[in-house]
Structure 1
């Protein structure tokens, strides 16, 4: 893997490669952005580039150091993940102990903290001391969904590197090249900020099934409302839908956006492209305002789910709203 081989994030690439070319690598970076935007891949590629003996501003991927980083056995690179729900002070202390030893030939030690915003207060304070008083040449990368959740004192001592959501066109091209079905790619790229996250959705348990259920319940609610209520009860009784209900609501909102477009006669940017024949007919059976109200209702019910509203009542209310009851 190399920095250049990672799709998108051109600004991030320029920042990191320029620091390598000018030998002005910061002692600490905060890689902040949504899950799936390539932060972890970039951290790995940057580590390879720092240790690479062949290229001045990227990783060759072939030399011994590049291969060691890629396989996770480079002695001077330490990767820390949360222990359970958080990164604990014991993990930071262990890191400090490892950094008390001399680095190898490169003279550089490096550590990456995944989900850095999960650090306990004690761990964060311990890390701060480490950032302020490194015992040798050290580069740190803190990966986080929310850089603002880190202590202000940590933020002020690290270079901020924001990762933007990837271009939808780029994500679609990549996922199509990998052979994923188009009917799953379309919703995934709208629900994810990057190719990695979209791929996880597509390959995750139940993604295709949830899409099918959105189609089934939407269709039944518009034509046979009592049947849709029964289907919803049966699916919720099996409990797996209860866990997947937030994803169901996300997917339903995408379906409703398609219905708004179809009611306006717009066939561009549709997500459920393989369902447009029956959807088109139903979309025109109602006023466009109906679909907009349904979308607003879905967003409101989605919020209620976050505050532990009854899943069955939420789903039944949504199905009735679709029918216009």
Structure 2
């Protein structure tokens, strides 16, 4: 894993490259971003670049250090993972015992803490002592999904790097090339990934994604066709996919978004569900543009309500009734 193999995040990567080139690597970093955004890849590429014997814009991939990192056998690169659901006090104590030992083979000694935002309060306070007076050779890279969980005193002593979501067009091209599929198919995974390449890969490799998508479209078809007896099928469907409700709601949003595009432009070029044009064409005659906007707003509100832990059953029922009744 090196910088050039990472998709997107150019600003963050350029900044890290520059710190290596100028030999201005700080003692502490937090790389913060959603699950699947590339934190682990960037953290490893950064560590590899720091330890590389002949870094020149990227790791050389041929020196002993690079080869050892790829085989996960470098004595000066240490990974820390949660013990259960959190990084605990005793793990940071072990880090402190190890950090006082000078590097074995390199000029730097690097610690990568995975899910660092899961650190307990006592663990963070213990780590703070190390961050206040770290050895000159030590670099601590923390990977997190929510930097707000860190103590302000920790945040004040490290460099925080926020990973932004990647343009869906880049993800689309990446998925198309990686899996040798056409761009229309890749577009679906890219759009539903919400700018997270790891999510797009997960969807492509999921055995039940296509089944879930077909079932979602089938439920929408029954609701749009205003079959009152099918309302309860919709409730059963959402109970079945309760653990994946946000993904299903996103599928629904993209479906109604495509209906607006078709209705307003009569053009297929910008559709996400490009493989479902005939079914979309059937639906545009059953809904007015104002109805589509109302439905999209209701789905968006339902997503927010569910994130706020509003009653699941009530939220879903209200949303399904809205879709069925606005026509």
Report the TM-score when normalising by structure 1. Answer: 0.90
Q: Partners in 1 of 2:67 and 2:203 — Cα distance?
A: 29
Partner of 2:201: 199
Partner of 1:28: 28
C-alpha distance 23-80 of structure 1, shift in aligned 2 (>3 A):
same
CA RMSD of aligned residues (A): 2.3
Partner of 1:65: 65
C-alpha distance 305-273 of structure 1, shift in aligned 2 (>3 A):
same
C-alpha distance 150-265 of structure 1, shift in aligned 2 (>3 A):
same
Residue 253 (structure 1) aligned with residue 250 (structure 2): no
Partner of 1:110: 110
Q: Unpaired segments of 5 or more residues in structure 1?
A: none
SS where residue 59 of structure 1 aligns? coil
Shift of residue 235, structure 1, vs aligned partner: 3.7
The answer to whether the 8 Å contact 1:253/1:298 transfers is yes
Q: Unpaired segments of 5 or more residues in structure 2?
A: none
Partner of 1:144: 144
Q: Partners in 2 of 1:152 and 1:305 — Cα distance?
A: 29
Residue 320 (structure 1) aligned with residue 321 (structure 2): yes
The answer to whether the 8 Å contact 2:172/2:189 transfers is no
Q: Partners in 2 of 1:199 and 1:161 — Cα distance?
A: 23
Deviations 1:160-219 (A, max 9, x none): 222221121111111000125656533432333232222123323532222112211011
Shift of residue 225, structure 1, vs aligned partner: 2.1
Partner of 1:101: 101
C-alpha distance 60-240 of structure 1, shift in aligned 2 (>3 A):
farther
Partner of 2:78: 78
**Equivalent in 182, 206, 210 of residue 208 of structure 1:** 210
Residue 305 (structure 1) aligned with residue 306 (structure 2): yes
Q: Which moved more, 1:279-288 or 1:223-232?
A: 223-232
Deviations 1:137-165 (A, max 9, x none): 10111122232332221112112222221
Counterparts of 1:1-325 in structure 2, within 5 Å, are 1-179=1-179, 180=181, 185-190=186-191, 191-204=193-206, 206-223=208-225, 225-226=227-228, 228-235=230-237, 240-265=240-265, 267=267, 268-309=269-310, 311-324=312-325
Q: Partners in 1 of 2:158 and 2:266 — Cα distance?
A: 47
C-alpha distance 228-313 of structure 1, shift in aligned 2 (>3 A):
farther
SS where residue 209 of structure 1 aligns? helix
Aligned residues: 323
